């Protein structure tokens, strides 16, 4: 390369002024412009595709599904997202499978809520029924979210006493819930409550019941976020008093996320998750650097709703923004993405 450059220099010698010569010598040693032209790699679609650093595959996607005993309907703040009756969920799951999406994650809206979240670990609970229905109709990987907030009358993710959310008594209920979901056929349980020690409690309970093959995908770095708004409308899970800031993480912290992730791995998590995704890409990146286990990211309801709203107003190109967001999550390091866009993206990736 160097000899080639010296030759080039000789050929051009005649017409060269001192300053040009200076630049040429500079380039020989520092390889800058005009020898290096980044735009060459962007010349056309084929070249761009050949050198693209990030791949987004339908196999990376997990589609969230809301199930209920009622007749269901569209979630107002999430156009294109529905609550489904348990009996319809097999059909929906088949559509998801036909698109090549490998997994769904289930959230349930029970008929009745109480202080101890009975619906969460009821053998005939709404998610338990949905799991059986999906397993009967498809080969999909079925992930069950493990949390109490959809099932408690106060809407908190744990047992409440005197206005306090108690940690250790909650672990028992979470373990019971995880076992019940595994019994119904869940391949993966995903604790999203952010109680301390829930991964080891759930792991122990599953193993004791003979479910050592059931995976745990832990919502390890889950932030107390305003981006969950539309989900809480969909799942009717908004807390009746206070907020979730005594258990979910503070948005100002990054190193603390690494502590949470490390603890969850030590306790037996198979996959760790960062949630939300878009305002926390730096966390995804750091978690990926830290671990050697798969990293998931949750592209949450508010992130979905904002894009849909912008599209509806005609202010942004919704499809393009969607792709940009999903690629950014992958580029940051996510191996898996939970997203309400899964079906839409699958169609685009198929083209």
Residues known to be catalytic: 222, 275
Given the structure tokens 């290096």, which residue do they identify?
36
Interface mask toward ligand PBG for 241-260; x: CB under 6 A: --------------------
**Which of residues 62 and 140 has its CB atom nearest to ligand PBG in the complex?**
62
Rounded to whole angstroms, the maximal C-alpha distance in the chain is: 89
Work out the angle between the directed axes of helices 301-313 and 318-332 (0-180°, nearest 10). 150
Count CB atoms within 10 A of the CB of residue 256.
Answer: 13
Q: Which of 71, 52, 135 is nearest to 331 (CA)?
A: 52
Residues 211-230 that bind ligand PBG (CB under 6 A): 228
Name residue 337's beta-bridge partners.
Answer: 61, 297
Q: Which of 92, 157, 173, 322 binds ligand PBG (CB under 6 A)?
A: 157
Q: Does 86 bind ligand PBG (CB under 6 A)?
A: no
201: tokens are 């409690």
Angle between helices 198-208 and 168-184 (to 10 degrees): 40
CB of 89 to ligand PBG, least distance (A): 18
Supply the minimum distance, in Å, between the C-beta of residue 172 and ligand PBG.
18
Is position 174 an interface residue for ligand PBG (rule: CB under 6 A)?
no
Which secondary structure element, helix H or strand E, spans residue 68, and what is its range?
Answer: strand 61-68
Nearer to ligand PBG, 97 or 145 (CB): 145
81 touches ligand PBG (CB under 6 A) = no
Nearer to ligand PBG among residue 145 and residue 267 (C-beta): 145
Q: Which two tokens stand for residue 54?
A: 């990030």
Q: Would you count residue 145 as binding ligand PBG (CB under 6 A)?
A: yes
Residue from 86, 106, 120, 147 binding ligand PBG (CB under 6 A): 147
Binding footprint of ligand PBG, residue count (CB under 6 A): 11
Instruction: Report in angstroms how near the CB of residue 157 gets to ligand PBG at its nearest.
Output: 5
Structure tokens at 129: 């029924």
Stretch (H or E) spanning 350:
helix 342-350
Neighbouring C-beta atoms of residue 8, cutoff 10 Å: 14
Which CB sits closer to ligand PBG, 24 or 301?
A: 301
Query: By the 8 A CB rule, do 169 and 152 touch?
Result: no
341 binds ligand PBG (CB under 6 A): no
Q: Is 337 in the site for ligand PBG (CB under 6 A)?
A: no
Q: How far is the CB of 119 from ligand PBG (least distance, A)?
A: 14
- Residue 12: strand, helix, or coil: helix
**Interaction site with ligand PBG (CB under 6 A):** 145, 147, 149, 157, 192, 228, 231-232, 237, 300-301
């Amino acid at each position: 390369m160097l000899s080639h450059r010296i030759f080039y220099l000789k050929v051009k010698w005649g017409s060269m002024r001192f300053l040009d010569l200076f630049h040429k010598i500079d380039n020989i040693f520092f390889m800058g412009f005009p020898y290096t032209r980044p735009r060459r790699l962007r010349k056309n679609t084929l070249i761009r595709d050949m050198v693209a650093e990030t791949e987004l595959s339908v196999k990376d996607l997990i589609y969230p599904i809301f199930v209920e005993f009622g007749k269901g309907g569209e979630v107002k703040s999430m156009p294109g997202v529905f609550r489904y009756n348990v009996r319809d969920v097999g059909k929906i799951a088949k559509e998801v499978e036909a698109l090549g999406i490998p997994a769904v994650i289930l959230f349930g809206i029970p008929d009745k809520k109480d202080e101890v979240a009975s619906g969460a670990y009821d053998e005939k609970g709404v998610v338990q029924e949905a799991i059986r229905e999906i397993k009967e109709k498809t080969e999909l990987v079925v992930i069950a979210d493990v949390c109490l907030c959809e099932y408690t009358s106060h809407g908190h993710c744990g047992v409440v006493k005197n206005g306090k959310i108690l940690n250790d008594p909650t672990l028992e209920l979470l373990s019971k819930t995880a076992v019940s979901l595994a019994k119904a056929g869940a391949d993966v349980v995903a604790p999203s409550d952010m109680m301390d020690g829930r991964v080891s409690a759930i792991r122990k309970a599953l193993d004791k019941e003979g479910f050592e093959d059931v995976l745990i995908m832990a919502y390890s770095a889950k932030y107390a976020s305003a981006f969950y708004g539309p989900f809480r409308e969909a799942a009717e899970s908004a807390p009746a008093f206070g907020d979730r800031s005594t258990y979910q993480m503070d948005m100002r912290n990054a190193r603390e996320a690494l502590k949470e992730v490390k603890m969850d791995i030590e306790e037996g998590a198979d996959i760790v998750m960062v949630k939300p995704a878009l305002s926390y890409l730096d966390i995804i990146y750091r978690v990926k650097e830290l671990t050697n286990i798969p990293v998931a990211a949750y592209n949450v309801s508010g992130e979905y709703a904002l894009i849909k709203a912008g599209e509806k107003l005609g202010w942004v190109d919704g499809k393009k923004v969607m792709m940009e967001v999903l690629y950014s999550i992958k580029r940051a390091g996510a191996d898996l993405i939970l997203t309400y866009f899964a079906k839409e993206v699958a169609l685009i990736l198929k083209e």
